[in-house]
Every structure is written in C-alpha cells, then in structure tokens.
C-alpha cells in the first residue's frame, strides 16, 4: 500500500488574467490571478535573499515589477506600452496582481506577449480573458503560443 502524505506539490500550472478595456478612461485594467507558491518560487530564484509572501518581504514589489516587465509586454504598431503596477492582494493560496495599461486614442488592437512562469514550469498555461463591454474573447498563452494580437472590439 502506498500512502501519500504530502500535498505541497501541485502538477497544474495555470494562471488567469482578466483584461478589461475601459474606453472612457483610456486604459486596460488587468487582474492577474496565480498560485502564491509559484510566484514565491519564481521570485526566490531571482535573488540571494529569502523571499516570503503574505506577509511580504520588503523587496517583493520591486522584484515583482521587474519580473512582470520581463514576462508581459504590450505594444501597438511596434510601440511598447508601459504597464503600471497598482498592487497585489493575497487570498488563501492565490495572489491577485493589479495592473493598469494606458492606451493612446484610436488604438484598435494591441499585441501581447505573455510568458508568465514558462521558463520555470514548461506545462504552464496562461489564460487571458479580454472584455470590452459585451465583447469577450479568451486566449491561451503557453510554450507554443506566446504572442497574440488582441482586437479591442469585435468590429
């Protein structure tokens, strides 16, 4: 008889990113949801000091912003769009990260490259749900699909 006593390791590597185009304010609001232990593992690999999330180690935000800028890139007509980190929140074993992306007027689509955790976890899947009013579209970013053009409307 085999008895498994540890439940610390999980085999599913997935994140969810909600993107909502707020035309009145001219920005896309992003909410990234991921497993806190995966985030902790990735940030820990980037520093010599011990990283602890929830409660945070003091350097977590700066490490997180650097990492996000490496794995999440948005552009229009090959012009990079800066992302603005707004903060994070922990709930149980999940982390939510809040980001704002200002867009210039008259942009109809953005190009997105998204590689969250793909170097660390080859089976990682990053699901992106885009919303603009009643228009909804989902994308799967993984080891094979790292870039998509996202239309801001269905027209």
**Domain around 53:** 14-151
The verdict on residue 51 lying in a domain is: yes
Which pLDDT does position 137 carry in this prediction? 96
CATH of residue 123's domain is 3.30.70
The verdict on residue 45 lying in a domain is: yes
Residue range 98-109: average pLDDT? 90
The verdict on residue 6 lying in a domain is: no
Predicted confidence (pLDDT) per residue in 28-58, tens digit: 999 999 999 999 999 988 888 788 887 776 6
Predicted confidence (pLDDT) per residue in 10-23, tens digit: 577 899 999 999 98
The verdict on residue 5 lying in a domain is: no
The verdict on residue 7 lying in a domain is: no
Cα distance between residue 56 and residue 88, in whole Å: 10
Q: Does the pLDDT of residue 99 top 80, yes or no?
A: yes
Which pLDDT does position 57 carry in this prediction? 67
Residue range 65-78: average pLDDT? 96
The verdict on residue 9 lying in a domain is: no
- For every residue of 43-86, DSSP letters joined together read HHTT-SS---TTTTPTTHHHHHHHHHHHHEEEEETTEEE--EEE
The verdict on residue 8 lying in a domain is: no
Which pLDDT does position 32 carry in this prediction? 98
How far CA 146 is from CA of 21, 27, 123, in Å, comes to: 21, 22, 13
Number of domains in the chain: 1
């Amino acid at each position: 008889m085999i008895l498994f006593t540890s439940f610390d390791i999980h085999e599913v590597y997935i994140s969810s990113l909600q993107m909502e185009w707020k035309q009145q304010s001219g920005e896309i609001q992003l909410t990234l949801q991921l497993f806190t232990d995966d985030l902790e593992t990735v940030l820990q690999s980037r520093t010599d000091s011990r990283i602890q999330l929830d409660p945070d180690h003091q350097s977590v935000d700066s490490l997180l912003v650097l990492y996000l800028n490496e794995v999440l890139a948005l552009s229009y007509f090959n012009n990079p769009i800066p992302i603005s980190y707004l903060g994070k929140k922990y709930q149980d074993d999940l982390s939510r990260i809040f980001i704002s992306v200002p867009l210039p007027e008259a942009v109809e689509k953005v190009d997105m490259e998204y590689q969250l955790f793909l170097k660390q976890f080859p089976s990682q899947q990053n699901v992106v749900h885009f919303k603009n009013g009643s228009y909804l579209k989902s994308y799967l970013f993984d080891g094979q699909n790292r870039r998509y053009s996202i239309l801001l409307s269905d027209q």
